[in-house]
Amino acid sequence: MSKVLLICVLILCCSLSLADDYYCVKRVVDGDTIVLNNGEKIRLIGVDTPETVHPKKLVEFFGKEASAFTKRMCEGKRVRLEYDWQKTDKYGRTLAYVYLEDGTFVNAEIVKQGYGYAYARFPFKHLEKFRQYEKVAREKEVGLWAKDSLPEELR
């Protein structure tokens, strides 16, 4: 009986410690920013998606599609965060790599599927991979790189 109790306690402790590593996404602000249930704003590292909610800019080409993609991927789901050399940006948002429970690397998927650019303005540990992901997305003409998604004046 005591062995069963000990095993149950160990399982409970392990699951609690694992649960602490995950956060629920309350909402998606735009294609590269999410809000967790605790109210923390997360800016995805290495990704720049077209603007949809910038107070001084109009909605940019493919912005709504990028926001919808991130919303489908993240909203209401549990995510794990990883950090790089800088923890916050000048707006106070937490900078993070975001992973779904199944291991999907959200930041990378946004670039791979053509919903955003590799944001190379600042160094980050996956910079070269992200540049390659964007290059492949452009070559395959996916997402914002698809010829049929471009407005007539940009073709």
pLDDT tens figures, 70-114 = 999 999 999 999 999 999 999 999 999 999 999 999 999 999 999
Find the catalytic residue in 51, 65, 109, 134: 51
pTM: 0.80
Find the catalytic residue in 40, 78, 80, 93: 93
H helical segments located in 29-105: 63-74
More confident residue, 60 or 51: 51
| pLDDT more than 90, % of the chain | 68
- Sorted by where each starts, the structural domains of the chain and their CATH numbers stand as 21-145 (2.40.50.90)
CB atoms within 10 A of CB 142: 15
> Residue 155 pLDDT more than 60?
no
pLDDT tens figures, 53-64 = 676 766 557 669
Contacts for 142 with CB less than 8 Å, ≥ 6 apart = 113, 114
Across the range 18-41, mean pLDDT stands at 90
Find the catalytic residue in 43, 65, 109, 134: 43
Asked if residue 100 lies in contact with residue 73, where contact means CB atoms within 8 angstroms, the answer is yes
Across the range 1-8, mean pLDDT stands at 42
Verify whether residue 43 is a known catalytic residue: yes
Verify whether residue 93 is a known catalytic residue: yes
Selection from 113, 120, 100 nearest residue 144 by Cα: 113
Across the range 107-128, mean pLDDT stands at 96
Verify whether residue 134 is a known catalytic residue: no
pLDDT at 36 (0 to 100) = 98
| pLDDT more than 70, % of the chain | 77
Q: How far is Cα 110 from Cα 121, in angstroms, rounded to an integer?
A: 17
> Residue 34 pLDDT more than 70?
yes
